[in-house]
Amino acid sequence: MQLEFDFANDTTELIAGVDEVGRGPLAGEVVTAACILDPKRPILALNDSKKLTEKRRDYLFDQIKDQALCYCIARASVEEIDQLNILHATMLAMRRAVEGLAIQPTQVLIDGNRVPTGLTMPAQAIVKGDGLVAEISAASILAKVTRDREMQALDKQYPDYGLAKHKGYPTPTHLAAIQALGVTEIHRKSFAPVKKILDQA
Give the residue-averaged pLDDT of 1-24: 70
The pLDDT confidence band at residue 120, using thresholds 50, 70 and 90, is very high
Please give the Cα distance from 134 to 121 (Å, whole number): 19
67-96: pLDDT as tens digits: 999 999 999 999 999 999 999 999 999 999
Angle, CA 147 vertex, CA 76 and CA 42 arms, to 5°: 105
Structural class in CATH, domain 15-159: alpha beta
* pTM, two decimal places: 0.92
Give percent of the chain with pLDDT exceeding 70. 94
Instruction: Say how many C-beta atoms besides its own lie within 10 A of residue 184's C-beta.
Output: 16
Please give the Cα distance from 67 to 65 (Å, whole number): 6
Bigger pLDDT: 45 vs 188: 188
Tell me the domain boundaries of the chain: 15-159
Is the pLDDT confidence value at 3 over 90? no
Phi, psi of 17 (to 5 degrees): -95, 145
Please give the Cα distance from 147 to 131 (Å, whole number): 19
For the chain, give the mean pLDDT: 93
Closest Cα to residue 178, out of 117, 166, 49?
Answer: 166
Q: Are 77 and 29 in contact (CB under 8 A)?
A: yes
